[in-house]
Amino acid sequence: MPINNLTTAAPSDIDAELERLNLQLAKAEQAVLALRKRRRDRIERGEIDLADDALIVQIEQACSAADACEAEAAPLEQEFTRRGGWTRAWLVLNTGGHVHRTTACRTCFPTTKFAWLTHLSGHDEVEIVDLAGRAACTECYPSAPVEVRSQTSRIKTPDQLARSAERAQRARAKAAKAAKAAKAAKAAKAAKAAKAAKAVSSPDGTPLRTKHCGLIKTEFTARRSYTDLLSYARYLTRQNVVFHRASIAEHQEDARLILAALSAKHGRTEDDLLEELAPKVEAKWRREHSKWG
Ligand SMILES: [Zn+2]
């Protein structure tokens, strides 16, 4: 993370940036070494040719990259000095590796590999020792209490912390996705239930088909069709019961099918429903068919 204001930046941010530059510098220095070796080998084999110029350019580029890292790191190091230093901690990278306050600890070697615990930079040493527990170096932290030294280490490297944060983020995203899916499933179920509440079918579950009103899908249509059919049958009866006998019977049969369907759906008797719908049929008759010529 780039440092905006060096004089107010947190030690952990400054050290994290320093560590980033350190790694970049190490990479650049390795590149310089590898390129120089390649050139030396070529010279030894007597293979000096036009490609040598390109190699020299590459070496120069790697050197400038290393210089740039050092130039960028210098003010950060100066800030550390300006503030009179701050606590820093390193973890030795092997099983049971100890936490040290400096890589110059005399229990370590030049070849020892460390992870710089930059997130603990500037933290209270008591806190660092408490986290380190039995991993706290006795040379670096001689005053660590015995009970703290018996604790299991809870030290994490910045890499481990980043990985845990990523895992937590993934878990949160997964939970959010699951919650969203559950919500959608619930809504779909409710919609289906609402549709089922409105739907109507024959008592055996097959679609409710009528001769004069066609396929009836909803209870609303079923009730309206029922009143239409019976009111119209009454009209036909008044017109000429003998002439319309077949049609009257068909309309009444359709109404009977609807009544059976509603009866099955609600678990009510047909008589009960017939009684409920009779005023509607009567109203329809008075409003419409009775007025027909
Ligand atoms: Zn130490």
Residues 167-214 have pLDDT tens digits of 999 999 999 999 999 999 999 999 999 998 999 999 999 999 999 999
In the chain, where the domains are located? 11-82, 90-149, 208-291
80 C-alpha to ligand 1 centroid (Å):
21
Strand partners, 209: 215
- The CA 47 to ligand 1 mean position distance, Å, reads 49
State the distance from the centre of ligand 1 to the C-alpha of 137, rounded, in angstroms.
5
Question: How far does the centroid of ligand 1 lie from the alpha carbon of residue 70, in Å?
Answer: 27
The C-alpha atoms of residue 122 and residue 33 are separated, in whole angstroms, by: 35
The whole-angstrom separation of Cα 133 and Cα 144 is 9
Show the low-confidence residues of the chain (pLDDT under 50). none
Question: For position 52, what pLDDT does the model report?
Answer: 80
Q: How far is ligand 1, taken at its centre, from the CA of residue 19, in Å?
A: 20
Beta bridge partners of 136: 99
Question: Could you tell me the pTM of the whole model?
Answer: 0.61
Q: What angle do CA 34, 40, 45 make, to 5 degrees?
A: 130
How many Å lie between the centroid of ligand 1 and the Cα of residue 159? 21
pLDDT for 186: 96
H helix or E strand, kind and range, residue 133: none
Distances (CA, A) of 131 to 8, 84, 156, 182, 241: 26, 24, 9, 40, 100
- From ligand 1's centre to the CA of 63, what distance in Å? 33
Per-residue buried b or exposed e for 194-224, using 16+ beta carbons within 10 Å of the residue's own CB: eeeeeebebeeeeebebeebeebeebebbbb
pLDDT value for 144: 87
CA–CA separation, 133 vs 91, rounded Å?
12
The CA distances from residue 192 to 52, 186, 204, 211, 231, in Å, are 76, 10, 20, 28, 33
